[in-house]
Amino acid sequence: MKGFTVKKTNWNSNNLKALVFDFDGTLLDSFAAHYDVFEIMFARFNITMDRQRFLDSYSPNWYKTYEGMGLPQKDWKAADQIWLKEVENQEPNLFAGVPDTLRKLNESRAIGLVTSGSKNRVVKDLERTGIGSLFKVIVTGDDIKRPKPSPEGLDVAIRQLNVQPEETAYIGDANADYEMSLASGVHFIGVRSAYDSFKNSNSFVCLESVNELPELIGL
């Protein structure tokens, strides 16, 4: 397959009953838009951000990003409010081909979404891009108490999909996604993105795009 950077896996795709996706950087091309929002937000606290510093600090658990960027914990709540307000002005697009790929996968597998994003923002983006109805389960950061890499969100999705962990694959673009999958006992498929922070990419299949998934699982 053209897009593979790693070809290593220990699962049989025929046994997969569910595919659960990360959202930002995996389905939604949100890096540039969200980078701008982080830049605006950190500037309010007199913190200068550059791309490398941001990537070194980035985590789907944005409090780790705040910490890595040197934002005092007393300012985290205010930072959340600024970020959520500013992101309302952004409308990033899905990566090319994502709707058709999800529809194809939905013909033979249950598909779900587990994201660290806020419920209000994620729901708006799903409605705006027209893919919300394709997911049987949607778990956002507001639906759980412990963010990635805690397995809580993925465990919730697995229960709601009524499948076993070994029958499930999670598709994401960050090391926290991989760690969450390990903790939940599900298979992991990586996707390269601008958020990419993989540290163990020799341990799983890694794609250039979710559009390679149908071929990967034999559809």
What token pair was written down for 60? 């789907």
CB 112 within 8 A of CB 137: yes
Q: What are the structural domain ranges in the chain?
A: 13-29+93-216, 31-87
* Burial of residue 191, with CB atoms counted within 10 A of its CB: 0-12 exposed, 13-18 middle, 19 or more buried: buried
pLDDT tens profile 171-217: 999 888 999 999 999 999 999 888 766 765 667 888 989 999 999 99
Q: Tell me the pLDDT band of 57, cut-offs 50, 70 and 90.
A: confident
Which numeric CATH code is attached to 13-29+93-216? 3.40.50.1000
What are the Cα distances from residue 140, in Å, to 22, 108, 118, 218?
10, 24, 6, 29
Q: Which position has the higher pLDDT, 150 or 3?
A: 150
* Burial of residue 132, with CB atoms counted within 10 A of its CB: 0-12 exposed, 13-18 middle, 19 or more buried: middle
Query: Does pLDDT of 47 surpass 50?
Result: yes
pLDDT tens profile 11-29: 667 789 999 999 999 999 9
Q: Which residue has the tokens 């109805």?
A: 133
pLDDT at 107: 94
First to last CA, the chain: 14
